[in-house]
A and B are shown apart, each in its own frame.
Chain A
Amino acid sequence: MKSGAQILIESLKKENVEIMFGYPGGQVLPIFDELYDSPIKFILTRHEQGAAHAADGYARATGKPGVCLATSGPGATNLVTGIANAFMDSVPMIAITGQVKTFLIGNDAFQEADITGITRPITKHNYLVKNVDDLARVIKEAFYIATTGRPGPVLIDVPSDVQMAKTKFSYPEKVDIRGYNPVYEGHINQIKKAAHLISESKKPVIYAGGGVVISGAYKELAELAQKNNIPVTTTLLGLGVFDSMSPLSLGMLGMHGTAYANHSVMESDLIIAIGARFDDRVTGKLDEFAKHAKIIHIDIDPSSVSKNVKVDVPIVGDAKLILTQLNKYVEKPDTKKWLENVEEWKKKHPLLYKNDNKLRPQYVIEEIYNATKGEAIICTEVGQNQMWAAQWYKYSKPRTFISSGGLGTMGFGFPAAIGAQLGKPNKIVFDIAGDGSIQMNIQELATAVANKLPIKVAILNNCYLGMVRQWQELFYKKRYAHTFIGGEYCPNLVKVAESYGAEGISVTKKEEVRAAIKKALSINDKPVFIDFKIEKEENVFPMVPAGEAINKMIGGLA
């Protein structure tokens, strides 16, 4: 006979969980008591939101499911942003929450919240376990659901009396869920149709997203592109799935994508979408989007297909399996002239910034790229820092760019970097942050210091909530309502780092950038904050104004 808490930990071990992130509390004491002498490494964050994002970052860096644990009520609700974030970006996550005792549920008991009700629309599935006999099966199902098909977070709510109740433990070998049978193999006729369209096309573009990362379809994607001379653009979450140094690479598309990616997509006669979902930040004005293009859409989630744009050839299934088949049937189209067009756009509208003697954020990112030779894992916060990190670091390997895409969660990057560093201890991990975002989960400095994690946080400090300020500048007559957070409104971030026992470096001049990055890279036993005091009103360009067609870009030098 084992208690629910013992069953939980034993089940996690059966699922090869090596690490989990969380925070204790009244309704998870039996579980924490089991963790006391368990081989599972437990990372105590300083806020439950940090635990959820760290589990998310761990999952994105390693491909393994991330596990987080919190108590009932506020512990559980503090996970909510992290769960929603993982849901939007299809990240496999198991969130375990304590709950008040079964007989108290519904009584407004102390620290009670209906977390299964709250998280229903932001989880792939969730469970309230009322009987200890169900616990092992539920955990087995939860891991299966979280990691298969289109991955996503699954929450398991376990009342504390269930954690204490005893039963015989046997971990199920198989799962049997009659309502859940993800399709992996693409339909062969659809694949042949797609191959035919590609072979016939004159101006094809591959549009690759996060699904390629999840499926691990990099080689197959590279083969499709290189063998057939098809240019490749990626979404934000797709950065790294295709070598950005390749002449076929167009970089990122969409609102802050490259002009040449957007022009290519708009002028194309065939879009091959792979593991991407035609998000509004990518398509801009839908009626104008790639009017002359036929669309092939490869995705494991049928509900993503034909949701935003009408698709000519949908192929539901796993990208890697489908591309393997597709590569057998495609006959090389003649894209010589098309690639010349693309090359012209690249020459005419390169990604640019004013590289003068001022301290500009783009330069900082370029120097981080140079210093790390493109080998680092780059996490980002959300806003201008995120877009500069996307534009100016050259990604060539999958799982090296970790960013909150769908939900756009400020405060994600730093705890995600903690998860990524723990999952990939031999990698250099950077968090590209803004002065706004870093303050949203700055308490996780304690977690990073306690675990001796050498994360480098590059704070692009412009004294503003920069992306909102940029919109206010461009669309609200420079009325900077509540976006200034500098001067006396901003703490000394170097001292903040130092007070936690981390390293702090202040950079105010361009010529100090290289040395600061070099110093940060030499520190390997604690986190480093580098506070780059960048140009205050630098904007992210090019930019497609909200609701415009994506070839109607505005912006400075680009």
Chain B
Amino acid sequence: MKHIIGVLVENKFGVLAHISGLFSARGFNIQSLAVGETEDPSMSRMTIVVEGDDRILEQVKKQLNKLIDVIKVLDLTKSKYLARELALIKVAVTSKTKQNVIQVVDSVKGKILHASDQLVVIEISDEKDTINSLIELLKPFGIKEISRTGKIALGLD
């Protein structure tokens, strides 16, 4: 089972290395990890998606809590939360296909960040499945490159 874990950490160098090192050393499977500053610039929030049963998850949380630079660990999947991922997608277009691509992007409320007669760069922020289906829809036009973030999430309580 997949779990989304929110981790508040000290905003210091070395903390990300410490946490990613912990996951590899203990054989925990990270699916994605995203990190950024919070409302308090001395803290960063990491959103980590891990795969594992309850026992593994329990260990993940305990091991994270053991790190001195970890301030708080939350299993967001245990209650209500909102999660988003971001993707940038570069699609090859011709003067003929450009409008079709723009329509597809509009249908999922994506954004056109850049458009020329050869290239369209799309931004989409949504749930993973929506992003995946947009990618499927765009494939026939010719996707040149994709850059995706890991999930970021916030609890609602």
Nearest-CB residue, chain B, relative to A301: B66
Interface membership of chain A positions 290-309, coded 1 if the CB is closer than 8 angstroms to chain B and 0 otherwise: 00000000000111011100
**CB–CB B18/A302 < 8 A:** no
A487 within 8 A of B: no
- Binding site secondary structure of chain B: helix
**CB–CB B68/A121 < 8 A:** no
**CB–CB A179/B69 < 8 A:** yes
Partner of A120, one of B9, B14, B66: B14
**CB–CB A303/B17 < 8 A:** no
B106 within 8 A of A: no
Instruction: State the Cβ distance, B56 to closest chain A Cβ, in Å.
Output: 11
**CB–CB B59/A307 < 8 A:** yes
B123 within 8 A of A: no
Instruction: State the Cβ distance, B104 to closest chain A Cβ, in Å.
Output: 45
**CB–CB B63/A303 < 8 A:** yes
Inter-chain CA distance A121–B18, complex, in Å, is 8
Nearest-CB residue, chain B, relative to A154: B68
Nearest-CB residue, chain B, relative to A150: B66
- Known pairs A117-B17, A120-B14; A179 contacts B67 (CB<8 A): yes
Q: Which residues of A contact B18 (CB under 8 A)?
A: 120
Inter-chain CA distance A290–B25, complex, in Å, is 29
Instruction: State the Cβ distance, B72 to closest chain A Cβ, in Å.
Output: 8
Interface membership of chain B positions 75-89, coded 1 if the CB is closer than 8 angstroms to chain A and 0 otherwise: 000000000000000
Instruction: State the Cβ distance, A22 to closest chain B Cβ, in Å.
Output: 24
Instruction: State the Cβ distance, A114 to closest chain B Cβ, in Å.
Output: 10
Q: Which residues of A contact B66 (CB under 8 A)?
A: 301-303
**CB–CB A121/B14 < 8 A:** no
Nearest-CB residue, chain A, relative to B26: A121
Partner of A179, one of B10, B59, B62, B63: B10
Instruction: State the Cβ distance, A286 to closest chain B Cβ, in Å.
Output: 12
B133 within 8 A of A: no
**CB–CB B14/A302 < 8 A:** no
Category for how many chain B residues contact A: 20 to 34
Nearest-CB residue, chain B, relative to A303: B62
Q: Which residues of B contact A145 (CB under 8 A)?
A: 68
Category for how many chain A residues contact B: 10 to 19
Q: Which residues of B contact A120 (CB under 8 A)?
A: 14, 17-18, 21
Instruction: State the Cβ distance, A159 to closest chain B Cβ, in Å.
Output: 14
**CB–CB B70/A121 < 8 A:** no
Inter-chain CA distance A120–B68, complex, in Å, is 12
Centre residue among A128, A179, A305 by max chain B CB count within 10 A: A179
Instruction: State the Cβ distance, B51 to closest chain A Cβ, in Å.
Output: 19
Interface membership of chain A positions 524-537, coded 1 if the CB is closer than 8 angstroms to chain B and 0 otherwise: 00000000000000
Inter-chain CA distance A124–B10, complex, in Å, is 16
A140 within 8 A of B: no
Partner of A121, one of B22, B55, B59, B65: B22
**CB–CB B71/A179 < 8 A:** yes
Instruction: State the Cβ distance, B73 to closest chain A Cβ, in Å.
Output: 10
- Known pairs A116-B14, A121-B21, A306-B55; A180 contacts B63 (CB<8 A): no
**CB–CB A124/B14 < 8 A:** no
- Known pairs A121-B25, A306-B55; A177 contacts B68 (CB<8 A): yes
**CB–CB A302/B68 < 8 A:** no
Q: Which residues of B contact A307 (CB under 8 A)?
A: 59, 62
B127 within 8 A of A: no
Partner of B62, one of A117, A180, A302: A302
Nearest-CB residue, chain A, relative to B64: A303
B37 within 8 A of A: no
Inter-chain CA distance A302–B71, complex, in Å, is 16
A14 within 8 A of B: no
**CB–CB B21/A125 < 8 A:** no
**CB–CB A306/B22 < 8 A:** no
Inter-chain CA distance A177–B66, complex, in Å, is 13
Q: Which residues of B contact A180 (CB under 8 A)?
A: 68
B58 within 8 A of A: yes
Nearest-CB residue, chain B, relative to A304: B62
A178 within 8 A of B: yes
**CB–CB A306/B58 < 8 A:** yes
Inter-chain CA distance A178–B17, complex, in Å, is 20
Inter-chain CA distance A307–B10, complex, in Å, is 26
Inter-chain CA distance A303–B22, complex, in Å, is 13
Inter-chain CA distance A305–B61, complex, in Å, is 12
Nearest-CB residue, chain A, relative to B67: A179
Inter-chain CA distance A230–B21, complex, in Å, is 42
Instruction: State the Cβ distance, A387 to closest chain B Cβ, in Å.
Output: 28
**CB–CB B65/A302 < 8 A:** yes
Q: Which residues of A contact B55 (CB under 8 A)?
A: 306
Excluding A117-B17, A179-B71, A306-B55, 15 further A-B contacts by CB distance (< 8 Å) are A120-B18, A121-B25, A124-B68, A125-B67, A125-B69, A177-B68, A179-B67, A180-B68, A301-B66, A302-B62, A302-B65, A303-B59, A303-B65, A305-B62, A307-B62
Footprint of A on B, CB under 8 Å?
Answer: 9-10, 14, 17-18, 21-22, 25, 55, 58-59, 62-63, 65-71
Could you list 15 examples of A-B contacts with CB < 8 Å?
Answer: A117-B14, A117-B17, A121-B22, A125-B67, A125-B69, A128-B14, A145-B68, A178-B71, A179-B70, A179-B71, A180-B68, A302-B66, A303-B62, A303-B65, A306-B58
Footprint of B on A, CB under 8 Å?
Answer: 116-117, 120-121, 124-125, 128, 145, 177-180, 301-303, 305-307
